[in-house]
Structure 1
Amino acid sequence: MTGITFRGLLAVAATSALLALPAAAARAVPPPPTQSGDTTSVNTEFGKPGPLKVRTNYASGPCDRSLMGQIMGLQARMEGNHEIASCSDAFPYGFGSPVGVQIFAPVGKKAKGPFPAVVFMPGIAGNAAQYTALARNWASHGFIVAMPFTFWNSLIEVPTLGTAVLAHLNARPGDPLYRKVDFSRMTYAGHSAGGQGALQAASVYQNAGRAITPKFRVVGVFTIQNGPLAVGATVHVPALILGGRKDVVVPAWAWQKSYQFNGMQTAPAYFAVARKAAHLDVARSAKTNPFIGVTTAWLLYTSYRDPEAATWFTGKAWRLPRDKSFDEVLRNRIAARTVVRTGPRTAPYQPR
């Protein structure tokens, strides 16, 4: 796959953090009573690789080969995670460019496409390759994943970079991604500071993205332990906010719930707290990653209307509240009324 790196951000619009306050808080709908017949975990069901082979444009190795990687590893070990994450050579983890876009894409005879796209932002000082387990799993299930990074990874210029690179590669004859990106099924996502940038992008790009293609459409957003510089009231697409109960950097009870999830009133919104997740557990391997299955299910639900994935989010007996991996699961009233409609490239949700 063609490597894409940048020595600087050129012709990328910078936008300040969203400052609007949410309107009256959206009222969450209590989850259904626990039923003993369903003990499946969403991470077990959707945390396994899909049918497609995956390639990426960045080589990676153990993070602890660099000083910055050792510092991040020390924080992870203090949180109880003794796994060694993967890192590329992007500065300061190596001598590569500190600005770039790592891409994970389906390849092989089965990878016909076009595929929905996920633009995922790392956290501040995060290395894109640290999220390899998540990105590979998403791509193997039929998604093109672009992970733009600038070291700070905080505001809307970062997902702008990822979106622009996808548009460039999709339009370049001979590139492996030529005409493989379905811009009518875009998802913005991120971890930590990158999560707040994802919410900003989801607030803006539904209309602005049409400058790239008339068919541009954001079908969803999800954030993992995201930062505070975004509000829910400006998000008008289906949203999933994921927190970690052991996270002391982003307390789940704070902004994630108070003015982000509670401010989402115009589209289905979900809030879930992983029972055992600390802040850097998102970089864990596929077998132990607390967010791998729920994010894959969310993508399959919002982008493909997958009926099995939908059972975790829709219907009166939706399954996510009964997953013991999570100790708090909520959805707003629009989500509670949501039913899945089948049919190609139509709205992934239709409130009754």
Structure 2
Amino acid sequence: MVAAIALAGVVGGPVATAQESPPGATAQSVFATAGPHPVATAVRTNPCQESVFGMIQHVVVHAFGNREDLTCTQAFPNGLESPIGVNTYYPADIAELGSAPLIVLTPGIHSNPGMYDRLARQWVGHGFVVTVPYDYFNSLAYVPAAGLAVAIGANRDPNSPLHNRIDLGRTIFAGHSAGGQAAQQITSVLPRVAGAIDPALTVAGVLAIEPGPLALGPLLTVPTLFLTGYNDWVVPDFAWVRWWQYNLTSNAPAWIANARGVSHFSPVDAPEHWLSNGTATAWLLYLAFGDETAKDFFVGPDWRLRSDPTYFTVERNALADRLH
């Protein structure tokens, strides 16, 4: 019953199907690609190393193995603009789509929102509206709440290109590091009060990428995917992400996947260099569109992520086992 209620957002939304993948294909080989939709946004980025603070960030992520240079906005301390805000990305052809599901993507602590520009653009290319809320610390539920509020405001604003174009019934909260814990925090509360905020609002699920410790699995009531990295010593797979997040998620279907060769900063590398990028995209397409190819990686007795060589370990809980 819990699983059926949690996945109501999937069942209720339009269905899109990716091209059928050959046997043995990985999620990365199938889904780590640019989508067909052009991206519209007012966000402008520049190389992070143009500021002193950004240069330090640049050196750190390369020391941990990132290949591409970071991109940053002018949000303080990387520039002189406000350190608090919400960046919005959407398909430029959204009028032709009719509507698009929403992803609220919360960055990691002390990170600049521009570091997630490439990831946001990729997801928009697959048909999503993406908001990236930030306040430099990016650690608590009010940050993704701000991203949701901006999306709801744009959806209601007759002067916005997103007026009545955001399908709030397919809202997904995603986050990296501290943002991953904030995504869990808000979804621990929001599903019970969503209708009071907006009658159309339904939380379809969570994508927690190498999340921080300030979240509890027993409070989650929507499908949740935890992505960890074998080379991540900031959020080790064997620590809290298992102890009191995944292992204690008893009221919702949950999955956890530990990727080989992935460090804590891989999610802000170029999408093709983050080896869980394809799995993250597949998860989003499964939750929001009911994509059958994506679903095969997570659901059923022969779920394909379990044998995906990208991962050192992959597990799912009893409620996820029951999904068909």
- Please report the TM-score for the alignment, with normalisation by the length of structure 2: 0.91
- Candidates 186, 201, 215, aligned match of 2:186: 201
User: 2:165 aligned with 1:180, yes or no?
Assistant: yes
One-letter amino acid of the counterpart of residue 136, structure 1:
R
Residue type of the partner of 1:224? I
Runs of 4+ aligned structure 1 residues displaced above 3 Å come to: none
| Equivalence for 2:199 | 214
Tell me if the contact between 2:225 and 2:256 (Cα under 8 Å) persists in the aligned partners: yes
> How do residues 41-80 of structure 1 correspond to structure 2 at under 5 angstroms?
41-80=26-65
Measure, in 1, the Cα distance between the counterparts of 2:94 and 2:110. Answer: 37
Tell me how large the CA RMSD over aligned residues is: 1.3
User: 1:338 aligns to what SS in structure 2?
Assistant: coil
Q: Which of 98, 103, 108 lines up with 2:93 in the alignment?
A: 108
Distance 2:312 2:295 in 1: 20
Q: Is the 2:94–2:100 contact (alpha carbons within 8 Å) kept by the matching residues of 1?
A: no
Q: 2: CA distance between counterparts of 1:63 and 1:269?
A: 35
Deviation at 1:71, TM superposition (A): 1.1
Q: Look up the match of 1:254.
A: 239
The letter for the 2-side match of 1:166 is A
Identify the match of residue 124 of structure 1 among 93, 109, 118.
109
Structure 2 match to 1:152: 137
The worse-fitting range, judged by mean Cα deviation, of 154-163 and 126-135 is 126-135
Change (3 A) 1:67 1:263: same
Per the normalisation by structure 1, the TM-score is: 0.84
Deviation per CA, 1:149-199: give whole Å up to 9, x if none. Answer: 000000011011111111111111121111111111111110000110000
Select 1:310's aligned residue among 295, 311, 321.
295
Which residue is 1:94 aligned to?
Answer: 79
Percent of aligned pairs with the same amino acid: 39
Give the drift of 1:80: 1.7
Contact 1:52 1:110 in 2 (8 A): no
Letter paired with 2:233: V
Preserved contact between residue 109 and residue 137 of structure 2 (Cα < 8 Å):
yes
Which residue pairs with 1:287 in the alignment?
272
Aligned residue pair count: 303
Shift of 1:58: 1.1
Q: For 1:145 and 1:252, how far apart are their aligned partners in 2?
A: 27
Mean CA deviation greater in 273-282 or 107-116: 107-116
* 1:271 counterpart residue number: 256
SS in 2 for 1:145: strand
Describe the SS at the equivalent of 2:248: coil
Q: Distance in 2 between matches of 1:131 and 1:40?
A: 27
- What is the aligned counterpart of 1:171 among 138, 143, 156? 156
CA distance in 1, matches of 2:53, 2:309: 35
Deviations 1:248-303, CA, capped at 9 Å, x for gaps: 11111101111100111122100001111111111111221223211110011011
Using the TM superposition, give the Cα deviation of residue 133 of structure 1 relative to its aligned residue in structure 2, in angstroms. Answer: 2.3
Q: Which amino acid in the other structure matches residue 333 of structure 1? A: A
Match of 2:212 in 1: 227
Please tell me the residue identity of whatever aligns with 2:26: S
* Letter of the structure 2 residue corresponding to residue 172 of structure 1: D
For structure 1, the residue ranges without an aligned partner over 5 or more in a row are: 1-36, 340-352
Q: Is this contact kept in 2: 1:52–1:111, CA < 8 A?
A: no
List per-residue Cα deviations over 1:203-226 (Å, max 9, x = no partner): 111122222211211010011111
Residues 232, 261 of structure 1: 8 Å contact kept: yes
Indicate whether 1:240 and 2:225 are aligned.
yes
